[in-house]
Amino acid sequence: MEKRLIKILFLSGLFISIFLNPVSTIGQSYNEDNNRFFDNLNLNVNAGTTLFYGDVHSKSPFQEDWKMGFGLGLRKQFSPIFAVGLQFLSTKIHGTVINWPNGDIANLKFDSDLTEFNLHTTFNFSNALFGYKPDRALNIYALAGFGIANWMTTLRNTTDNSVIEQYGVSPNGGNAWTPSTVFPVGLGVNITLTPNIGLNLESVYHITNSDNVDAYTAGNGANDSFLFTSLGLSFKLSGSNRNFSSGSSSNASNFEKDLEKQRKYQEKVINKEQKQQQREEADQARKKQIDSNKKGWGRKSVSANLPKVAEYDPQYSFRDQKATNNKDINSNIKEEVPPPTEIITIDEGKHFITGVKNSKPLAGNINQGTIVENVNSNTLSTEVIQIPQTGIFYTVQIMASQKPATNIADLRLKYYISKQIFVSTQDGVYRYSAGYFELYDDAVTYSKQLKENGLTDAFVSIYQNGNRILYRPK
């Protein structure tokens, strides 16, 4: 009895430590959890064979000792490493022993119908050891949990088939409810067949907190157990496109709605900028009048040599063209020629950028030595590089913070970010973005993928010579 109690406590502690092991994954500061409950929810159907280990079993199992069983369950993938599942198991169990280990004749066999409900967690060794890869074809995982099992067992004599003992059987031959705790522990392999379907091979050892599964109690305190080895299919019920580009008409329609919301939002931003421009023009007029009055004092105005102040670079401003064409304002700033495409307004809010709808590559010489496009297992968790200081390219902004971020590795895992992550520190703000694209359409595609992964506030940004730039749409 003491051995059984120690074994139960050990398995319970092992399961709780695995199940409660936290994985810190946060998104942008204003949207910390975008993982909906029904995302990455899988339906598992499996069937296989059972083999009993207890008092009435042989070291060399007889052919009839192998029985069939089937399972049905739901499994929720909370992160690339951890998942929690609920399983229903229905199986038959058979055991035979002709001689006891000391040589005495036993001539016993039993048949049992067992049902089980268990709650379990899985730990993905492939993602934990080698880094998360959404296109990995094979994943190896461990499984541990606890549950409730109930069974009906009849023990017979092998010579005349007479009934010796029964357990879980009522006097009228029905099922007498005799539940017992059970602890499933095992290993599994998942093979990806399609983005929505996987093939599972599992071998799980079910340890019951009882010595009566075979209706024979030896009195040695050993628990009865059985091995269930199964082959099954898993079907992703929701969030099936978290790691794959959908291209479906419904998703395209939803994206167009987002673009329309963004267009209206940008109109509000432009109106706000125009009002700001009017206030600044009034301020400039007052300063000019003050400078003109100071000329009568017989000395040059102090403010005459100071640069004009603007919220944005003039060549990238949303302000009216007459403000940038004014000879008295920003006359010393050389205007740069904008890219050959019309760039839509960029903002820090939770919206997509509509941008340019063509596929012409941007001009400019990019320092390819600073770009890490193919992220490996090392850069995936630690590498964050500065925005290239030459050329023009598109990227997808994922986070903005007033302090350097320390959770980049967790951010990658939570939102399945497989592209290189850049950082820009303009205006005292740390802006983090993913991906390096010369085509706007490629950047939009990747922003849609990140949105489907739960990062709903990702949007396209454009950088020129290391600076984030803004254009007013025509």
Q: List pLDDT tens digits, range 411-448.
A: 888 898 989 899 998 888 899 999 999 999 999 999 99
Weakest mean pLDDT among 44-48, 68-72, 310-314, 375-379 = 310-314
CB 356 within 8 A of CB 392: no
pLDDT of residue 231: 96
- Segment 81-104 shows an average pLDDT of 93
Higher pLDDT, 303 or 459: 459
- Segment 395-423 shows an average pLDDT of 88
pLDDT at 156 over 80: yes
- Segment 162-190 shows an average pLDDT of 90
Weakest mean pLDDT among 238-252, 337-351, 394-408 = 337-351
pLDDT of residue 51: 95
- Segment 37-42 shows an average pLDDT of 79
CB 406 within 8 A of CB 24: no
- Segment 17-24 shows an average pLDDT of 45
pLDDT of residue 293: 66
Distance of CA 445 to the CA centre of its chain: 19
pLDDT of residue 350: 40
The torsion angles phi and psi of 137, rounded to 5 degrees, stand at: -80, -25
Higher pLDDT, 398 or 368: 398
Looking at the chain, the whole-number percentage of residues with pLDDT higher than 90 is 38
pLDDT at 348 over 70: no
pLDDT of residue 336: 39
pLDDT at 197 over 50: yes
pLDDT at 215 over 70: yes
Return the closest-CA partner of residue 410 out of 429, 386, 382, 431.
382
Neighbouring residues of 315: CB distance < 8 A, sequence distance ≥ 6: 324, 333, 335, 336, 338
Distance of CA 405 to the CA centre of its chain: 19
b/e burial code for range 87-110 (CB count within 10 A of at least 16 → b): bebebebbbbbeeeeeeeebebbb
The bridge status of strand 384-386 relative to strand 421-424 is parallel
Question: What is the chain's mean pLDDT, rounded?
Answer: 75
Weakest mean pLDDT among 91-100, 224-233, 287-296, 315-324 = 315-324
pLDDT at 267 over 50: yes
Weakest mean pLDDT among 53-57, 90-94, 299-303, 447-451 = 299-303
pLDDT at 372 over 80: no
From CA 225, how far away is CA 218, in angstroms rounded? 14
pLDDT at 232 over 70: yes
pLDDT of residue 145: 97
CB 145 within 8 A of CB 120: yes
CB 39 within 8 A of CB 238: yes
Q: What is the pLDDT confidence band of residue 339, given thresholds at 50, 70 and 90?
A: very low
Q: What is the pLDDT confidence band of residue 474, given thresholds at 50, 70 and 90?
A: very low
CB 38 within 8 A of CB 238: yes
Return the closest-CA partner of residue 87 out of 69, 70, 74.
74
Domain ranges of the chain: 2-31+38-238, 249-468
pLDDT of residue 301: 40
Q: What is the pLDDT confidence band of residue 37, given thresholds at 50, 70 and 90?
A: low
Distance of CA 83 to the CA centre of its chain: 11
CB 438 within 8 A of CB 462: no
pLDDT of residue 4: 53
Instruction: Write the burial class of residue 57 (CB in 10 Å: 0-12 exposed, 13-18 middle, 19+ buried).
Output: buried
From CA 443, how far away is CA 421, in angstroms rounded? 14
State the fold for domain 2-31+38-238: Porin (2.40.160)
CB 76 within 8 A of CB 87: no
From CA 436, how far away is CA 284, in angstroms rounded? 40
Q: What is the pLDDT confidence band of residue 384, given thresholds at 50, 70 and 90?
A: confident
Joined tokens for residue 134: 């959404």
CB 47 within 8 A of CB 70: yes
